[in-house]
Amino acid sequence: MSNHDTTRYSQFNERLAHMEQKLTPKNTPRKTAALSEDSALGMAFRIASDLVAGVAVGLGIGYELDRWTGCKPAFMIGFAMLGMAAGLRNVWRVVNVTDAPQNRAQENGRDQRGQRIED
């Protein structure tokens, strides 16, 4: 190898080491901040969309069943109420998951929904 090749090789190794150092992830623990405005706004939109989607799906199913069977308001009213109940259940699950302490979920080895926590 000539001197020129050795110089290029060492420059390449320096650049490679610099890029590897730049690309390796930092092993710093992330801070878990309290509920910020951005996440609170996101939660508000999720709650609103859960409620609206539940009622809309219930009304859609009820309308189609009413049209198919011919008894106009019965299924639409019933499925609208079921949609509201489903939306409220989803909101309840969202609110309880954010307020649940982390230690309680791991006491019996199960998460919030009762599923096993993988180690």
Structure tokens at 55: 């009622």
Strand partners, 116: 110
How many angstroms separate the CA atoms of 113 and 92, rounded? 13
Q: Which residue has the tokens 């901040």?
A: 33
State residue 49's pLDDT score: 93
d(Cα 21, Cα 62) in Å, to the nearest integer?
60
**For residue range 28-55, what is the model confidence (pLDDT) as tens digits?**
555 555 555 457 888 889 899 999 999 9
Average pLDDT over residues 6-12: 84
Q: What is the pLDDT of residues 56-81, one digit of tens each?
A: 999 999 999 999 999 888 999 999 99
Measured CA to CA, the distance from residue 113 to residue 97 in angstroms comes to: 9
State mean pLDDT over 88-98. 83
> Per-residue pLDDT averaged across 79-107, rounded?
77
pLDDT, residue 9, reads 83
| CA 75 – CA 61 distance, rounded (Å) | 8
d(CA 98, CA 46): 13
Domain boundaries defined on the chain: 38-97
Distance CA 51, CA 45 (A): 10
Please report, as a single letter, which amino acid is at residue 48: A
φ, ψ for residue 27, nearest 5 deg = -95, 40
Mean pLDDT of 91-95: 86
